[in-house]
Amino acid sequence: MSEYNNSDPSLRPVNPETGEPFPPTDQPGYYPGFRTLSQSPYWDAATRNVVTLRVTDPPERRFFTAYEWKFWETVFSHLIPQTDRTPERQIPLIPPLDARLYANRTDGYRYETMPQDREAYKIGIEAINNESAARFGGEFLDLGHWQQEKVLQAIHDGRPEASPEIWKSMSVSRFWELIMHDAMKAYYGHPWAWDEVGFGGPAYPRAYMRLENGEPEPWEVREKRHEWRAPDLSVSDEVEPLHHLHTEATQRAHISPLRKKP
Amino acid sequence: MATSLEIEITNHIREGKFQRSLALLTAATSVVSGLEVAYEHYRGSYSRRVMYTPVILSGLLSIAGVAAFFSRRAAQSVLRWTSVVTLADAGLGFYFHVRGIHRKPGGWRFPMTNMVMGPPIFAPLLFGTSAYLGLIASYLQREEGNTPTSRELLSAEQDIREGKFQQQVAVVAGISALLSGFEAYYSHYKNNFRYKMQWSPVVIAPLLAAACFASVKSRRAASTLLPAAAALASADAAVGFYYHARGVLRRPGGSKHLVYNIIYGPPIFAPLLLGAAGMLGFLASLLRRRRA
């Protein structure tokens, strides 16, 4: 799917114990063997249909040109890298975005510092290419992985060097928010991402029953944490160490001393 | 060593002369089950008028029980009929609870989820336990034992009057044990059996039921197995009550938001249902058997 296939190990998350990159897997994450789609008999027909189509029939290209499609595919592969996934299990992020822009489905509101979403995705290409040219003297798609990271980091940080006229008509931070939201909506709306994060999918008609103490439902899989480090070639590897708070039970143990009165 | 008082009490029970004590016991158990149903139905927002009936009836039954303690006439009239109506209400409640589960999304296609999340299926039948005690009490003789027998009684009634209804109480105790064991099973399943202790009622309730049903066949089981199993169940009920109370207090807010935590925490009186089955088992073990 993405140009950034798994041939380059320096783009993959690293096992901190061995210092070696993890091999790509069908299902990254902490819930080995959990398949949300296996729960589909417990959903109603309409929901099951919507969710299944996301896997079997991602929308065809109708809005973007072939170049734009490839461009955003590359950008999105930096926003949510999928180098930990085998190529056939990478989640297509551009088809839902393309379908959204084709139908002109928006959030229903627009910031006054932002153009229409369709427009933003057109001039965004120009802005990113200008930034690439200013920093590394080439088009974004022709740059190396690390250079592309630096270009996107400049926009993330709100400090682009090039195309002030574009950024005058479009807020840098709102633009970043827009593409980040679209990337996340596509990724975390897909059942394979649900497998990764252990999300059980729609809770109707069967409801959740174990509502306290973070106990798993009978059909859920217990979390199995492992340590990992960001890929060596990544420029944004700041991770807040929150692992010790990863279950509600430990969170509670962490919080309860604070509750006690002196 | 049995004291003379213990012997006297045992003899009274053997001879069916314990109407006043059983009437008082009926009143006490009715208060507890009334509180339980009051807050459980409060959780259910009293969404149907019929949900008030067990709350009202348990109040009436408690009053009837106290009245029967003082008056033989009250025991044979008010207590008897209040008990009958309450038993009918328990059956009606069972019907509504089954229907309530059926009406949850997915209905009986997801029996476990909907039994856990819906109305507790056997709770109405267990609510009937105190009414059963009241009904039995209404047929007994008073402790003083000076009741004139002015008319020929039906033989079943006569048996109860004379304390010869061990098998009947054993059967009721056995059923009650099975139902409360099942309630404990799915409620604790909801909690994923987080504490090992949560398995204890699931194990002990069938033991008690087995002892009860064995007592129907065997006089020896009734005098050995049954009191042992009943003691075990009662002890477990006490432990369960302690853990549920502790669970309520350990919730955020603890005793500061006591009512809230009782409503949303572990059902505080539920373990006593197994204790009630144990108590029935004890009672059965002290009674005499029906004439062959």
Query: What are the pLDDT tens digits along chain B (292 aa)?
Result: 567 888 888 888 888 889 999 999 999 999 999 999 999 999 889 999 999 999 999 999 999 999 999 999 999 999 999 999 999 999 999 999 999 999 999 999 999 999 999 999 999 999 999 999 999 999 999 888 665 555 566 677 788 888 889 999 999 999 999 999 999 999 999 999 999 999 999 999 999 999 999 999 999 999 999 999 999 999 999 999 999 999 999 999 989 999 999 988 999 999 999 999 999 999 999 998 876 5
To the nearest whole Å, the CA of A42 is away from the closest chain B CA by 9
Q: Which of A40, A48, A206, A260 is the best mutation test for B, with the most CBs of B within 10 A?
A: A206
- In the predicted structure, residue A199 carries a pLDDT above the cut 70: yes
Please tell me which residue of chain A has the smallest CA distance to B192: A215
To the nearest whole Å, the CA of B105 is away from the closest chain A CA by 5
- In the predicted structure, residue A109 carries a pLDDT above the cut 80: yes
Chain A hits for B190, Cβ within 8 Å: 209-210
Supply the range of the domain harboring residue A216.
9-259
Task: State how far the Cα of A120 lies from the Cα of A100, in Å rounded to an integer.
Answer: 13
Taking an 8 Å cut-off on Cβ atoms, the answer to whether B194 and A204 are in contact is: no
Q: Which of A209, A215, A218 sits opposite B117 (nearest CB)?
A: A209
A213 and chain B in contact, CB less than 8 A: yes
- In the predicted structure, residue A2 carries a pLDDT above the cut 50: no
CB contacts < 8 Å between A and B, how many? 33
Chain B hits for A218, Cβ within 8 Å: 112, 189
Least confident of A160-174, A241-255, B104-118: A241-255
To the nearest whole Å, the CA of A247 is away from the closest chain B CA by 15
**Which region holds residue A190: left if phi is over 0, alpha if psi is between -120 and 50, else beta?**
beta
A209 and chain B in contact, CB less than 8 A: yes
| Residue where the block lists tokens 């373990």 | B271
A222 and chain B in contact, CB less than 8 A: no
| pLDDT in the model for residue B88 | 98
Give me the mean pLDDT over the A41-56 stretch. Answer: 94
How do the domains of chain B map onto residue ranges?
1-144+157-163, 165-292
Chain B hits for A206, Cβ within 8 Å: 105-106, 110, 113
- In the predicted structure, residue A222 carries a pLDDT above the cut 80: yes
Taking an 8 Å cut-off on Cβ atoms, the answer to whether A213 and B194 are in contact is: yes
| Assigned domain for A70 exists | yes
- In the predicted structure, residue A186 carries a pLDDT above the cut 60: yes
Q: Which residues contact B248 (CB under 8 A, 6 or more apart)?
A: B258, B261, B262, B265, B266, B268
Confidence of residue A10 (pLDDT cuts 50, 70, 90): confident
> A215 or B122, which is more confident?
B122
Confidence of residue A249 (pLDDT cuts 50, 70, 90): low
B116 and chain A in contact, CB less than 8 A: yes
B254 and chain A in contact, CB less than 8 A: no
Three-class secondary structure assignment of chain B: CCCHHHHHHHHHHHCCCCHHHHHHHHHHHHHHHHHHHHHHHHHCCCCCHHHHHHHHHHHHHHHHHHHHHHCHHHHHHHHHHHHHHHHHHHHHHHHHHHHHHHCCCCHHHCHHHHHHHCCCCCHHHHHHHHHHHHHHHHHCCCCCCCCCCCCCCCHHHHHHHCCCCHHHHHHHHHHHHHHHHHHHHHHHHHCCCCCHHHHHHHHHHHHHHHHHHHHHHCHHHHHCHHHHHHHHHHHHHHHHHHHHHHHHHHCCCHHHHHHHHHHHCCCCCCHHHHHHHHHHHHHHHHCCCCCC
- In the predicted structure, residue A1 carries a pLDDT above the cut 70: no
| Assigned domain for A157 exists | yes
Chain A hits for B106, Cβ within 8 Å: 42, 205-206
| pLDDT in the model for residue A4 | 47
Q: Which of A205, A206, A210 sits opposite B192 (nearest CB)?
A: A210
Sign (positive or negative) of CA dihedral B100, B264, A213, B196: negative
Chain A hits for B194, Cβ within 8 Å: 213, 215
- In the predicted structure, residue A140 carries a pLDDT above the cut 70: yes
pLDDT, mean over chain A: 89
Quote the distance between the C-alpha of residue B81 and its chain's center: 18
Taking an 8 Å cut-off on Cβ atoms, the answer to whether A207 and B112 are in contact is: no
Taking an 8 Å cut-off on Cβ atoms, the answer to whether B191 and A216 are in contact is: no
> A208 or B202, which is more confident?
B202
| pLDDT in the model for residue A3 | 46
| Assigned domain for A4 exists | no
Domain count, chain A: 1
Confidence of residue A252 (pLDDT cuts 50, 70, 90): low
